[in-house]
Structure 1
């Protein structure tokens, strides 16, 4: 038991002082400069030295002060990522972006769009955290606005085609992806193929164009039918219920994305319409939900892992290598056939 009046060894608040770089250096008998090299992953120190430093840091509970390091180096080494909080595809992209960024010595700051928080607010948050480059997933702002933003920090647009703005773009060929779905369905024997649209925006426009072009390529101009929609499950549900109330059902429905396709599936299954027995359904994105056994959705993969890798590479080229000429990387999408498509009855 402590004697009355004895001093609190950790201070009056009871909190232990935060371990410093100097404490790690003292523990292993090295200079702070040498310890810093190890903790920053800089080549030079031997493997034995590296292991000693890492063990001492772990034993002491040392964590680098990122803010202080950034102020000292004038580099934050942070990449800002804007995502839609409701998108399973964006969540998967973030996982791949983290991996790609860590491999080149960067970290991510995430800022979300929600139903009450728009794109501008999400971007302002990233800038306030001193992010060196911005990776925007599916941005909807006008090209001129994104070009102005690029003057503050390099902008990499992921998923959306942008022309004439001098920005880096990483995307898949969306029109080709939807065309692959139509080719697949026509090959199964479908002719009455309805498309549930994704609303406004460049990505929605490209996918809608891909549907029209593929239907015309197969001589199905008279069968083209597009229902208004957006990127949500609710839009797919509305589209499905509209078709249910309209008399003869089509033999196949293609949607803007997997979320909308899940809404269509919900509406059809709730009405006792078999999928794919009565109607085939296909989505787009190959997000994590589409792979669940309860959906088993035929869809199109955008190769999220490669898009993430290319987006981080573009940011690093701008920041560390001084590349000034914008690049557009267009990846080929690939059809993923699962259990929601089959020949029509």
Structure 2
């Protein structure tokens, strides 16, 4: 087993008080019930996704309260794992429809998968790559991350197809595309019919190749529901430009506002996924004639820009302005920012995409599959208060 998987699996280990499914004590008997409850919860989570129902290595581990590394060693029947735990892990894997047929032994090496990204700066990508690597390791494969944007003046948004062709020549098994790459048609052509799966991409690619997407209608709905429950009605969204995914999230925000009868109160301030543009958009919102009491953003980086704009304009967060992001990255959970965000379930996104790619590498030839993974809401300090009574419909007064 690779050292990466051991260290990453250790990071996933539960608290010291985790359930020991092998215990024969009275406490262990009670623990059995809790293990079953966790299994039911994981099964329900899988069922919530729109698409093929299958479990990942992380799902198997979570169902028993163990780490991914321990689950993998149990599935491989390693002798350092006690027999009863090995049995429980195999049972959980079968129950959750984990693809045991692709499981490789500890020393197997079947190939390399290329993960194509637009940028290395997005912390959400690191979460995905971690999940991809863990799942691929279970099949005896490894992953390399490849930035694809050509960084030369005459090709400001073109894809580096030369690098992709070089990967084909080196014999990579297939490609995983994170989000919507620039010039996707050229990218796909350069992959020379190697298996190709999109992760976190837009709905526009459904049917062209296997896709594992975030259910953004659910995600934006969770944000708007949360803010409305706090009393907010004047809610704006920063996003909608820069990619199809951004436009889809803006549309999902609009639909959520319409569902609450607040279509006339919804405002979309154009912004992409960068902090700089987020700050500019936030400044425009706060300098307008009608200032919102809450702002949702296309991602966590944009939310940081809106927070900076609020600070510069003298608005207190959350008492004068609630701000929410999207992605639940480390940026949102730091002790400094504490931003409410939508958790896209990156572990499941990455693991399922890896599974679908392995299917294709192994000869799966059915029609393109699509899975929309259900996100969840993580509420933090940035939305911990509703609007002040005098702020429910704020207007900015201009004094000559």
Which of 135, 139, 146 is residue 111 of structure 1 equivalent to? Answer: 146
Rounded to whole Å, the distance in 2 between the matches of 1:129 and 1:119 is 22
Per the alignment, do residues 235 and 123 of structure 1 end up closer, same or farther by CA in structure 2, a change over 3 Å counting?
farther
CA drift at 1:307: 0.7
- Per the alignment, residue 323 of structure 2 pairs with 281
CA contact (8 A) 1:169 1:329 kept: yes
Which of 214, 229, 235 is residue 187 of structure 1 equivalent to? Answer: 229
Per the alignment, do residues 185 and 86 of structure 1 end up closer, same or farther by CA in structure 2, a change over 3 Å counting?
same
- Per the alignment, residue 225 of structure 1 pairs with 267
- Per the alignment, residue 35 of structure 1 pairs with none
- Encode CA deviations 1:138-173: one digit per residue, 9 max, x unaligned: 123566556645652111000112446530101111
Rounded to whole Å, the distance in 2 between the matches of 1:212 and 1:181 is 12
- Per the alignment, residue 81 of structure 1 pairs with 115
- Per the alignment, residue 66 of structure 1 pairs with none
Rounded to whole Å, the distance in 2 between the matches of 1:119 and 1:328 is 26
Unaligned runs of 5+ in 2: 1-72, 80-108, 389-400
- Per the alignment, residue 179 of structure 2 pairs with 138
Rounded to whole Å, the distance in 1 between the matches of 2:236 and 2:179 is 24
Rounded to whole Å, the distance in 1 between the matches of 2:206 and 2:148 is 25
- Per the alignment, residue 14 of structure 1 pairs with none
- Per the alignment, residue 343 of structure 1 pairs with 386
Rounded to whole Å, the distance in 2 between the matches of 1:76 and 1:105 is 5
Aligned ranges 1:55-70 → 2 under 5 Å: none
* Larger radius of gyration between Structure 1 and Structure 2: 1
CA contact (8 A) 1:146 1:165 kept: no
Rounded to whole Å, the distance in 2 between the matches of 1:129 and 1:288 is 34
Identify the range of structure 1 (124-133 vs 140-149) with the bigger mean alpha-carbon deviation.
140-149
1:310 paired with 2:310, answer: no
CA drift at 1:224: 1.8
Per the alignment, do residues 149 and 164 of structure 1 end up closer, same or farther by CA in structure 2, a change over 3 Å counting?
farther
User: What's the RMSD between the two structures over aligned residues?
Assistant: 2.7
1:94 paired with 2:118, answer: no
Give the alignment's TM-score, normalised by structure 1. Answer: 0.73
Aligned ranges 1:289-308 → 2 under 5 Å: 289-308=331-350
Give the alignment's TM-score, normalised by structure 2. Answer: 0.64
1:246 paired with 2:280, answer: no
Rounded to whole Å, the distance in 2 between the matches of 1:119 and 1:289 is 28
Per the alignment, do residues 321 and 262 of structure 1 end up closer, same or farther by CA in structure 2, a change over 3 Å counting?
same
| SS in structure 2 at match of 1:253 | strand
- Encode CA deviations 1:209-266: one digit per residue, 9 max, x unaligned: 1111111111112112111110101111101111232244210011111100011111
Per the alignment, do residues 162 and 105 of structure 1 end up closer, same or farther by CA in structure 2, a change over 3 Å counting?
farther
Per the alignment, do residues 88 and 191 of structure 1 end up closer, same or farther by CA in structure 2, a change over 3 Å counting?
same
| SS in structure 2 at match of 1:197 | strand
Rounded to whole Å, the distance in 1 between the matches of 2:150 and 2:236 is 28
Aligned residues: 277
CA contact (8 A) 2:242 2:271 kept: no
Rounded to whole Å, the distance in 2 between the matches of 1:294 and 1:126 is 41
